[in-house]
Amino acid sequence: MEKEFTLLVNTENNIGLLNHLSIVFTRRKLNIESLTVSESKIKGIYSFTIVIKTRRDVIDRVAKQLENIIGVIKVFVYENDEIIHQELAMYKLPISAIEKGLQIESVVRTHNARVLNIENDYILIEKTGHKADTQKLMEELKPYGILQFIRTGRVAMAKPMKDLEIHIREKNAAYEILED
Amino acid sequence: METKTDLKEETKTETAKTVKGSEAVILSLLHEGVDTIFGYPGGAIMPIYDALYDYQDKIEHILVRHEQGATHMAQGYAKTSDKPGIVFATSGPGSTNLITGLSNAKIDSIPMICITGQVPSHLLGFDAFQETDVVGISMPVTKWNYQVTKAAEIPEVMAKAFYIASSGRPGPVLIDITKDAQNQFIDFTYKRVHQVSGYFPNPKTNPEKIREAANLINNAKKPLLLAGHGISIAGAEEELTAFVNKTGIPVGCTLLGLSTFPTRHPLYAGMLGMHGNYAPNIQTNEADLIIAIGMRFDDRVTGDTSRYAIKAKVIHIDIDQAEIDKNIKADVAIISDAKKALQQLIPMVKTNVHDEWLEEFKKLEAIEFEKIIQKDIHPKAGQIKMAEVIHQVSERTKGEAIVVTDVGQHQMMAARYYQFAHTKSMITSGGLGTMGFGVPAAFGAAMGQDKRPVVVFVGDGGIQMTIQELATIWQHKRPVKIVLLNNGFLGMVRQWQQLFHERRYSFTTLVNPDFQMIAKGNGIESSKINTRDELKNSIDKMFNFDGPYLLEVEVEQEDNVFPMVPSGASVSDIILEP
Ligand SMILES: Cc1ncc(C[n+]2csc(CCOP(=O)(O)OP(=O)(O)O)c2C)c(N)n1
């Protein structure tokens, strides 16, 4: 059965790594639902958050293959109930939306959104939440004529999060260095 | 564009030597003990070739006739020399000609380092003359690749390349060096690398898992060991034999595992898989324990995985964590170098015999012998059969030769009928099935060592894919013995057409050139036979000749390789005849 999985891929900052990661997915015809990269708390170590819909056995194999890429340190596979995740969305509306009856204050209150910017000709609203939540706000704003909508990929944290440094230490301990 | 020297003013260490990036490449190779390069020059790699000009006394450069040939030679060389094979090629078409060989080395875990020239860095991305994004193209088929745009990176990148290619599960590495980087000056110092961040080649063998495995082994009634390429990569052949002698467990070899265990050993059960032997395939589904070492349960070995090892617990030992549970689920997984795992297992397993279980193998072997082997190697009449040629070569060389094959029926025949007496003796394209591999790989194998004879079996189809390398063989006078098994067909494809496409021989008939003239034109001594009476003498003549030799044998045209596990079938549904 297909499910949504979130991969946390911790890597070195190597050129071409993203390309390498994506080859592993494309080889299996897996569509990347969302992808976000940022530096982790450890300098020089990056975390990719990748959302994939597939079967458990497939994602487990993919995770192992990702770990074989030189520069990948540790890959975690999570199902949705194992993580807290967020996405950020931005909505641009024409100022005329207010004339059409857009109640900015109520939108902000009921959706936990916020106004980032109001100019002469447009309003910028921001909301973080699950995809379903940001989507819901979009549906609500649609009648007022959205000029632009953009949403980031998912960022996620595992619920009982073990320190990444401990994970890395454990991984290193499972391997040895051989001088020939 | 030539850049001026970017020599730094800072004080140099005693060992530092100011050289161009191009020379730094050659010096790095010398630091790694390289004495042989297979290559082909061109514009973007000219500075490196210019540097090589001054080192001809230390490095032998083999000028190939096509870059694909260089990659296959480098692989044959790697297998016999135990060092990574080195390839030079220019940018653009030179580099794209490497892709087949890189893919082959990747899937068969062969250490190889390809160095390609690239257009100057300021032209990258401008579709310059002979610019190809070879780093992008080769990413899926290399273990690691990297583009160097500054000479200062060269020593470290080269050291990393050697370390990555040879360590853990070996594989090919491609280093692309822009022409300006080749021309910049640097202060050269070299340090070998034994660690790369984000790369974990050497798993510690988990003693807990070893104990679990030993427990299963000690309690198994019908155990079967599957020996793969990982055994020879780890140099664990002695440990394998010691383990088997102690436990009395029969051994089946994968195609790339052939020669890790002596063919004539009483516990040798034969080759696994599609065209393997009858007994080990049947017994895979009778066994109560499968011990797989350094093998990856390739689909050519397993057939239908849902009907594979149906009664068995599985112990899987492999150095690559991604192989565990990939194709076949393991009950006990040991992520480890094969040698280390076997060393730890041997003292923990009980001395044992499995007479009844072995008796079943004997019965199956007798069936295969009567129905297939006897007719294959001792035919009474008709045309020469491939199998009898292999058999005779095996007898003549007493199983001591290094056997190289191309891809097709002759490959399976060589795998089935050569009786390996010596370890590290089978060089063949397993995972990729690369036609054109055989002849250049055999030359590489002969470059990598000169103690043992090298014989290559090749079909009339495959030989034509890299036939230009006959000239390379002639030029360098290596005594490669080429046995061309000419059946006038793309035999293996024809066999499938016969069995599964109602004999509709769609474009598998070969209209061949005169191979004797081609051999002659390339300065290679040769002969051609088509009768059984001539066979033994002509094989003798080939081996007695001091130098490369091509023996063309006209063999039965529509001969088939049996037994066979039809694709999609279970291993125990192996068939002995159509
Ligand atoms: C480069 C490449 N192209 C196509 C194939 C598919 N193929 C596999 S075996 C084979 C026939 C080989 O014929 P030949 O070299 O005459 O050997 P034979 O099977 O007759 O011994 C072909 C075409 C392949 N393995 N490699």
Q: Are residues A77 and A97 in the same domain?
A: no
**Cβ contact A16–B144 (<8 Å):** no
- Residue of chain A nearest B206, judged by CA positions: A174
Q: Does B201 touch chain A (CB under 8 A)?
A: yes
* Residue B447 within any structural domain of the chain: yes
* Residue B140 within any structural domain of the chain: yes
**Cβ contact B196–A70 (<8 Å):** yes
Triad B123, B112, B17: Cα angle to 5°: 65
Cβ-proximal residues to B420 (8 Å cutoff; 6+ apart), any chain:
B258, B259, B262, B263, B399, B403, B426
Tell me whether strands A3-12 and A72-79 are parallel, antiparallel or unpaired. Answer: antiparallel
* Residue A166 within any structural domain of the chain: no
Q: Given this model, what pLDDT does residue B361 score? A: 98
Residue B8 — pLDDT band, cuts 50, 70, 90? very low
Q: Is the pLDDT of residue B441 over 60?
A: yes
CATH number of the CATH domain containing A60: 3.30.70.260
* Residue A37 within any structural domain of the chain: yes
Atom of ligand 1 nearest to the CA of B463: 15
- Residues of A at the B interface, defined by Cβ within 8 angstroms: 11-12, 14, 16, 19-20, 23, 27, 60-61, 64-65, 67-68, 70-73, 171, 173-180
**Cβ contact B139–A180 (<8 Å):** no
Number of structural domains in chain A:
2
The question of whether B118 is a catalytic residue gets the answer no
Q: Is the pLDDT of residue B12 over 70?
A: no
Give percent of chain B with pLDDT exceeding 70.
97
Tokens 């790697």 label which residue? B78
- Sheet architecture: strand order including B172-178: B60-63, B36-39, B85-89, B112-118, B172-178, B144-148
Tell me whether strands B480-486 and B36-39 are parallel, antiparallel or unpaired. Answer: unpaired
The rounded Å distance from CA B432 to ligand 1 centre is 12
Are B278 and B368 in contact by the 8 Å Cβ rule? The answer is: yes
Give percent of chain B with pLDDT exceeding 90.
97
| Count of positions (residues) in chain B | 578
Higher pLDDT, A164 or B298: B298
**Å between A46 CA and nearest CA of chain B:** 12
Given B188, B223, B243, the domain boundary residue is B188
Q: Are residues A73 and A95 in the same domain?
A: no
Q: Are residues A61 and A103 in the same domain?
A: no
* Residue A103 within any structural domain of the chain: yes
The question of whether B68 is a catalytic residue gets the answer no
- What span, in angstroms and rounded, lies between the C-alpha atoms of B261 and B242? 11
Q: Given this model, what pLDDT does residue B7 score? A: 39
* Residue B413 within any structural domain of the chain: yes
Q: Break chain B down into helix, strand, coil percent, rounded to 5.
A: 40, 20, 40
* Residue B395 within any structural domain of the chain: yes
- What span, in angstroms and rounded, lies between the C-alpha atoms of B229 and B258? 8
- What span, in angstroms and rounded, lies between the C-alpha atoms of B231 and B237? 6
Q: Are residues B397 and B493 in the same domain?
A: yes
pLDDT tens figures, B319-361: 999 999 999 999 999 999 999 999 999 999 999 999 999 999 9
Q: Are residues A34 and A55 in the same domain?
A: yes
Show the ligand 1 pocket: residues with CB < 6 angstroms.
B 406-410, 433-436, 459-462, 485, 487, 489-493
Q: Given this model, what pLDDT does residue B5 score? A: 40
Q: Are residues A102 and A32 in the same domain?
A: no
pLDDT tens figures, B424-435: 999 999 999 999
Structural domain boundaries enclosing A24: 3-84+155-160
Q: Are residues A29 and A80 in the same domain?
A: yes
Q: Are residues A77 and A99 in the same domain?
A: no
C-beta atoms surrounding B34 within 10 Å = 19
Q: Given this model, what pLDDT does residue B15 score? A: 66
B197, B296, B335: best to mutate for the A interface, most A CBs within 10 A? B197
Q: Is the pLDDT of residue B414 over 60?
A: yes
Number of structural domains in chain B:
3
Q: Are residues B123 and B159 in the same domain?
A: yes
Lowest mean pLDDT among A31-45, B161-175, B354-368, B483-497: A31-45
Residues 316-345 of B with CB under 8 A from A: 320-322, 324-326
Partners of residue B182 on adjacent β-strands: none
Nearest to A70 among B199, B322, B326 (CB): B199
Phi, psi at B428, each rounded to 5°: -150, 160
Q: Are residues B30 and B175 in the same domain?
A: yes
Q: Are residues B242 and B349 in the same domain?
A: yes
Q: Are residues B40 and B133 in the same domain?
A: yes
* Residue B216 within any structural domain of the chain: yes
Q: Which amino acid, residue B459? A: G
With the most atoms of ligand 1 within 8 angstroms of its CB, the residue from B384, B490, B499, B562 to mutate is: B490
Out of B20, B79, B106, B179, the active site residue is B179
Q: Are residues B420 and B327 in the same domain?
A: no
Residues 143-172 of B with CB under 8 A from A: 143-145, 164, 167
Atom of ligand 1 nearest to the CA of B490: 13
* Residue A55 within any structural domain of the chain: yes
Q: Given this model, what pLDDT does residue A180 score? A: 66
The question of whether B348 is a catalytic residue gets the answer no
Q: Are residues A32 and A101 in the same domain?
A: no
The rounded Å distance from CA B39 to ligand 1 centre is 26
- Residue of chain B nearest A175, judged by CA positions: B203
Q: Are residues B243 and B275 in the same domain?
A: yes
**Cβ contact A61–B326 (<8 Å):** yes
Q: Given this model, what pLDDT does residue A14 score? A: 87
The predicted complex's ipTM stands at 0.92
**Cβ contact A175–B200 (<8 Å):** yes
Count of A-B CB contacts under 8 Å: 61
CATH number of the CATH domain containing A145: 3.30.70.1150
Nearest to A70 among B164, B324, B326 (CB): B164
pLDDT tens figures, B100-127: 999 999 999 999 999 999 999 999 999 9
Tell me whether strands B251-253 and B223-227 are parallel, antiparallel or unpaired. Answer: parallel
User: And the tokens for B82?
Assistant: 């135990």
CATH number of the CATH domain containing B27: 3.40.50.970
- What span, in angstroms and rounded, lies between the C-alpha atoms of A49 and A84? 12
Q: Are residues B24 and B162 in the same domain?
A: yes
Strands (E), B182-246: 185-188, 223-227
Q: Does B194 touch chain A (CB under 8 A)?
A: yes
The question of whether B477 is a catalytic residue gets the answer no
* Residue B141 within any structural domain of the chain: yes
pLDDT tens figures, B351-398: 999 999 999 999 999 999 999 999 999 999 999 999 999 999 999 999
Nearest to B202 among A14, A73, A178 (CB): A178
> In the predicted model, what is the mean pLDDT of chain B?
96
Cis bond upstream, residue B84 (ω within 30): no
Q: Are residues A107 and A59 in the same domain?
A: no
**Cβ contact A65–B322 (<8 Å):** yes
Q: Are residues B11 and B113 in the same domain?
A: yes
Q: Are residues B26 and B172 in the same domain?
A: yes
Q: Which amino acid, residue A73? A: I
Three-state secondary structure call for residue B354? coil
**Cβ contact B321–A64 (<8 Å):** yes
User: And the tokens for A110?
Assistant: 């009921």
Residue A15 — pLDDT band, cuts 50, 70, 90? confident
Partners of residue A90 on adjacent β-strands: A126, A150
Q: Is the pLDDT of residue B57 over 70?
A: yes
Phi, psi at B569, each rounded to 5°: -85, 170
Q: Are residues A21 and A50 in the same domain?
A: yes
**Residues of chain B contacting A74 with CB distance shorter than 8 Å:** none
Q: Are residues A77 and A13 in the same domain?
A: yes
* Residue A171 within any structural domain of the chain: no
pLDDT tens figures, A127-172: 999 999 999 999 999 999 999 999 999 999 998 878 889 999 999 9
Structural domain boundaries enclosing B350: 207-360
**Cβ contact A67–B198 (<8 Å):** no
Q: Are residues A38 and A93 in the same domain?
A: no
The question of whether B67 is a catalytic residue gets the answer yes
